[in-house]
Each structure stands twice: as structure tokens, then as C-alpha cells.
Structure 1
């Protein structure tokens, strides 16, 4: 739990003595690569803090093979990666977790991961007893959401890739081209071509 303590200190900028009582609300968990931690339709009972590894949240949509629109033609399932979160970050379906409503996402471990499980009842306890810590943790999530919106607003795919590389240095070597392409909303061939340009 020492790593979790240090990461929470870095995240919240609070002193260790203020953070140590919070550790009781987190349970260490190890998961294998490809482990599914949440599925659409399930209520998210857990926010995951990543000690080591990478999690992603994604949805599956049906599209027409030719136009991308849903119609009577041939359909295909396409994964859209909404979030990629490495070490020292939190991931949950925020709406499902906070409002205890059915989730829209899958959450998956992309590599063997050491996680700290924080369930909804514990979140309520932290909110009541340590409101400043709960606020800072979820403020950080909002900051990451804002950065994600900024990335999505970049029309040029090479600019999205450059922002990704700046936000997550070294990440490209840890995740598949398919997953990174689905996060950047470009196809695999385009991503491979753009990677060559920015090296």
C-alpha cells in the first residue's frame, strides 16, 4: 500500500498523515490481461486506482461496413475506446458509479495489472469523513475528461496522436495499434502511417 499512499499524496497534494486513514477504503487486487472489470448494463460498484498496468473503457457500436451509418446493409461491430488510463490514474464509469445506474462501458485490463479497488460504499464513507480528499480525487477525473474533450476536438489526426504521445509517453509500445486507433478515432493504417511521421 506504500505505492498507493505515495500516489494519493501526489494526486491530492495533501500530507501523508492526512491520506493514511484513507488507505483502509482501498483493497489491493491483481488482475490478468484482458480481464473484464465492468460490462454494459451492470451498475458500477467500483472505482479502480491503477498501481501498475493499464485499464481502458470502451463501447461497441454497430455500423454499416461502407458508410459507417446503421441501416439495412451489412453491419459490423466496432469498438470505440473512450478511456485509456495507466498507472496512478482512476477509472470507473463515472455516471454509473456516482448515480448507481447501469453502465454504458466495458472496462478491461490491457496488461497484467495491480489495482486498488474502491467500492461505492467506501466512496460514500470518504465523502462523509474526508470530503476534501473525495473532491480532489474526482476533480482530477474531471481534468482528465477535459483533456479528452480537447483531444477529440482536434480535427487533424496527427494532432490527436501528438497530444496522446505527450499525455502518455511510452504508451504506444504497451497497447495494440487497434486499441490506440479506436481511442484516436482513426483506422489502423492511418495510425501506422502517422506514427512514422512523428518519429
Structure 2
């Protein structure tokens, strides 16, 4: 729970009793490698903090899976397109490694908004961060070459060291063979 408290402090500075109220509402959940947190068609009911491990967000496009996002330890995660409007998700969320999570239900989140107003500030800042990342990703895919996207990925060692190449290539919008060519030393 200390990692959760430390990560919350990157966004907000609650009083100690408020921090305790927030942290105490999260419950532990373990997702084994390959297991799904959410499958397409399910409605997301959870806001998460990843203690250890890695999650992959993907969708089906024709006959293949397209990977759109990864989340690693010490990050917050939520499948927003389902969680916010409470509609079935078009995404799957899968553990790429054994993953330890701290989970806050939607109902508990709403309760915390009423009891600890600074928590609502935290969630708003988290949403802003996600929206900014998504806009940057869209611009990257529209304006940058695959080589440039790969160079940016190299700045994130967790991606390069822990994500299987088939998922990394999908995330970068290229084929596995194109990724192999980019990875070869020149």
C-alpha cells in the first residue's frame, strides 16, 4: 500500500487521515500471466493501481489483435471508454506477466469523491494525463515514421525489455518483420 500512497502523492497532497481513507478502500487482486482483466463486451467497474506486472490493452481488427496500450507497475489504470459511460468495452485487457493489483470499485470511487474531495482532484488529473497521452499517440501515428515511433519506444526500457515483440510491433503499428529490421544494428 505504500507504493500506492507514494504514487498518489505525485498528483495530490492529502492530509494523512484522508490518505488513509483513500488507500484503505483499495483491495488486492492478482491476475496470472495470460489472464484477462476485461474481455470485449464486459463493462469495466474497476479503477486500478498496478503494484507489479504489466497489462496490455488490445482490440480485434478483422483477423488480428491490435495492441494499443501497456500499463506497468506503479501506474494507475482504468479502461475509460467502458468505465466512464458504463457501456460494454470493445477492448480486452490482459496480464502479460503475473500482475498484482490494488482495485477500487466504481461505487467505492464515488463514495471517496463525497468523503475526500481531494481524491476527485486526483482522478481528474489522472484523466487529464490519459487524454494527453492519447492525443500524443494519435499525432504520432499521423505524423511520424515507424522508425521514429520505435526510437521513442527505446526511451521506455520496460516496453523494450518486457513486452513480447509481436505485441510491441502491433503497438508501433508495424509488422514483426519490420520491427526486426528496425532492431538490427546499423
Q: What is the TM-score of this pair, normalised by structure 2?
A: 0.89
Q: Give yes or no for the alignment of 1:187 onto 2:186.
A: no
Question: 2:53·2:73 contact (CA, 8 Å) conserved in 1?
Answer: yes
Q: Report deviation, 1:112.
A: 0.8
- What's the counterpart of residue 150 of structure 2? 161
Q: Structure 1's 40 and 51: CA in aligned 2 closer, same or farther, altered over 3 A?
A: same
Alignment correspondent of 2:133? 144
> Aligned residues, how many?
182
> In the TM superposition, what is the alpha-carbon distance from 1:142 to its structure 2 partner?
2.1
Q: For residues 170 and 41 of structure 1, what CA distance do their matches in structure 2 show? A: 29
| Cα 1:84–1:111 shift into 2, 3 Å | same
Alpha-carbon distance in structure 2 between the residues aligned to 1:169 and 1:13: 27
Distance in 1 (alpha carbons) for counterparts of 2:164 and 2:111: 38
Residue by residue over 1:67-112, the C-alpha shift from the partner in whole angstroms, topping out at 9 and shown as x without a partner, is xxxxxxxxxx111011111122222320210111111100001101
Aligned to 1:175: 163
Cα RMSD of the aligned pairs, angstroms, is 1.8
Which of 98, 101, 105 is the aligned partner of 1:115? Answer: 101
Q: Specify the alignment match of 1:68 in structure 2.
A: none
Cα deviation code 1:19-64 (max 9, x no counterpart):
33211221121221111010111111112221111101100111xx
Q: Secondary structure at the match of 1:99?
A: coil
Identify the residue that residue 92 of structure 2 maps to in structure 1.
Answer: 106
Q: CA deviation at 1:197?
A: 4.2
For 2:33 and 2:161, the matched residues in 1 are separated by 15
1:106-133 deviation digits (Å, cap 9, x = unpaired): 0001101111112111221233332222
Structure 1: unaligned runs, 5 residues or longer: 63-76
Indicate if the aligned counterparts of 1:81 and 1:179 stay in contact, CA closer than 8 A.
Answer: yes
Corresponding residue for residue 65 of structure 1: none
Q: Is 1:151–1:163's contact at 8 Å kept on the other side of the alignment?
A: no
Contact in 1 for aligned 2:41/2:89 (Cα 8 Å): yes
